[in-house]
Structure 1
Amino acid sequence: MDQEPAKRDMVAGLDKGLQVIEAFDQERSRLTIAEVAERTGLTRAAARRYLLTLTALGYMRHENKQFTLTPKILRLGQSYLHSARLPRIAQPLLYRLAYALGEAASVGVLDHDDLVCVAAVSAGQLISATLQPGTRVPAYCTANGRMLLASLPPEASDRFLARATPEPITSHTIVDRARLGEEIARARERGYAVVDQELELGLRTIAVPVRNFRGDVVAAMNISVHAARMSVEQMVERCLPALIQYQVELNALL
């Protein structure tokens, strides 16, 4: 594991500037200086300077005392998608997998306690708005996320469960920590995870881990189906063999 850099080697201004960018999300797309200061812990004066700097650089827009992100911010995410090896290798395999089954497929990675989609193919099926590169959702209620949590060392998985505060996103979402721990353990034992409408009503997913040449789990790959078209049992029977086939192929390339 990489060592933490010494504090003297850190650029505090860059850290704070990124915190300002991360203060904006789907629920808070327009923020005032005071709101950014509150969300980042910066003083209002410091928040103002960072917001004005980002505006001058083209990453922010300022109107009626509120700031919003501009499309230029997408360059930061595109830099990862265009340069990282995993999305480039996974995308063509996902295309073949999705169209072989006629369902949506995606690959995701853990970022702290969230699942971030890095590659996806819909195969003509409009399943969910979360199945596209760059989307970020809670790991505990997604098949890819739960598979990745199951692939963590036991102590890391226990730490996640200790700090997790699951919310009832749908009526199916598992919010009890003990039961969530059982589901993570079940995914670890079976080698695949199934999530039934815990993130979105009507969305069922099944996922397997993706390993690199050293055998380390670096991502998870899933198939998503609409609940009205396929039961959980049918999804396991039909989708899991194909997932395993492409899992082996993707593992060999990493």
Structure 2
Amino acid sequence: MTAMTTAENPRDLIQSLERGFAVLLAFDAERPSPTLAELATATGLSRPAVRRILLTLQHLGYVHGDGGRWRLTPRVLSIGQHYSASHGMIEIAQPHLLELAEKTGESASLAALDGTEVVYIARVPVRRIMSINVSIGTRVPAHATSMGRVLLAWADESTVDTVLEAGLQARTPETVTDPAEFRAALKTVRDQGFSIVAGELEEGLISAAAPVRDRSGTVVAALASSTSTGRSTVDELHDDVVPLLRRAADAISTDYGHRRASKASSIIVKPHDGFF
């Protein structure tokens, strides 16, 4: 749940709407068809309140009840479609994602920051390299991913503080969990213009990411290319994939209205066997 800013008044919030989303979000892989009681436990709401919410959502076509259990309906997917339709960047990015995946032979993804997590908003998969099922809408912790590092490197200080306050949970022995070390890593990302993270989200996973900017120059998304230690190395990713990645990120930014300063130098791409 997103914390209120200091400018918000609790009396301006619609509690019933907040509770409705809490019930919707309680449906997940662990609770694909929960009972009313299970949803009440998951949300902390009373059973009568959950019942009224479920009946309302059923009336609207977002859930279906059968034999005391409830399931989401395909209509829920329309919410995500509205996001895609209202964000032209996703359509703009798609051909660049496809080209990047074709040139690298690896999956290409576009993600945005949401709280302490990054959310995949566009993706061209090539082969599965992670044990988790990555698809549009998948969330991963920002602190342990190259995409998250890029998005946080250019985020305001309060956003970084929120991530640190939530705790840098170790996903593997390689995950950076020290706040000072993490801040230093973000500075490195800003200085070099990209991020490479190896084995911090999942052992054997290597990923690189570069910033995508809007017309004002604000970093609004991160473009990433991921591979595994069985297919590549950090050095190969740095030398051969990062130039392609930065070029693609710059192309998306330009198509989205961003104009780079004239002093920005062109990126030279060095071919490497196995990627072309």
- The verdict on a shared fold, with TM-score over 0.5 as the criterion, is yes
Work out the CA distance in 1 between the residues paired with 2:168 and 2:73: 31
Instruction: Output one character per residue of 1:164-199: Cα deviation in whole Å (capped at 9) or x when no partner.
Output: 223333343333333333322322222211111222
Q: Deviation at 1:60?
A: 1.9
Residue matched to 1:19: 22
What SS does the aligned partner of 1:120 have?
A: strand
Q: Deviation at 1:238?
A: 0.7
Residue matched to 1:153: 156
Say which is worse superposed, 207-216 or 15-24, in terms of deviation.
Answer: 15-24
Work out the CA distance in 1 between the residues paired with 2:6 and 2:219: 20
Q: Deviation at 1:34?
A: 2.8
Matches within 5 A, 1:2-151: 10-122=13-125, 124-128=126-130, 130-151=133-154
Work out the CA distance in 2 between the residues paired with 1:136 and 1:29: 17
User: Are the aligned partners of 1:208 and 1:220 in contact in 2 as well (CA < 8 Å)?
Assistant: yes
User: Are the aligned partners of 2:120 and 2:139 in contact in 1 as well (CA < 8 Å)?
Assistant: yes
Residue matched to 1:225: 227
User: Are the aligned partners of 1:106 and 1:131 in contact in 2 as well (CA < 8 Å)?
Assistant: no
User: Are the aligned partners of 1:97 and 1:243 in contact in 2 as well (CA < 8 Å)?
Assistant: yes
Residue identity matched to 2:27? F
Work out the CA distance in 1 between the residues paired with 2:9 and 2:92: 34
What SS does the aligned partner of 1:24 have?
A: coil
Work out the CA distance in 2 between the residues paired with 1:130 and 1:81: 20
Work out the CA distance in 2 between the residues paired with 1:7 and 1:154: 25
**Percent identity (aligned):** 37
Work out the CA distance in 2 between the residues paired with 1:188 and 1:31: 44
Change beyond 3 A, Cα 1:110–1:67: same
Work out the CA distance in 2 between the residues paired with 1:175 and 1:232: 21
Residue identity matched to 1:134? G
User: Are the aligned partners of 1:108 and 1:220 in contact in 2 as well (CA < 8 Å)?
Assistant: yes
Q: Deviation at 1:4?
A: 5.6
Residue matched to 2:166: 164
TM-score, normalising length: structure 1: 0.88
Change beyond 3 A, Cα 1:170–1:31: farther
Work out the CA distance in 2 between the residues paired with 1:27 and 1:4: 36
Contiguous gaps of at least 5 residues in structure 1: none
Q: RMSD of the TM alignment (CA)?
A: 2.3
Q: Deviation at 1:125?
A: 2.6
Q: Deviation at 1:81?
A: 1.7
Work out the CA distance in 2 between the residues paired with 1:202 and 1:63: 42
Q: Deviation at 1:247?
A: 1.7
Residue matched to 2:192: 190
Residue matched to 1:242: 244
Change beyond 3 A, Cα 1:27–1:199: farther
Residue identity matched to 1:76? I
Residue identity matched to 2:32? S
User: Are the aligned partners of 2:143 and 2:163 in contact in 1 as well (CA < 8 Å)?
Assistant: no
Change beyond 3 A, Cα 1:24–1:180: farther
Work out the CA distance in 1 between the residues paired with 2:218 and 2:95: 22
Say which is worse superposed, 39-48 or 7-16, in terms of deviation.
Answer: 7-16
Residue matched to 2:274: none
Work out the CA distance in 1 between the residues paired with 2:37 and 2:162: 34
Counting matched residue pairs gives 251
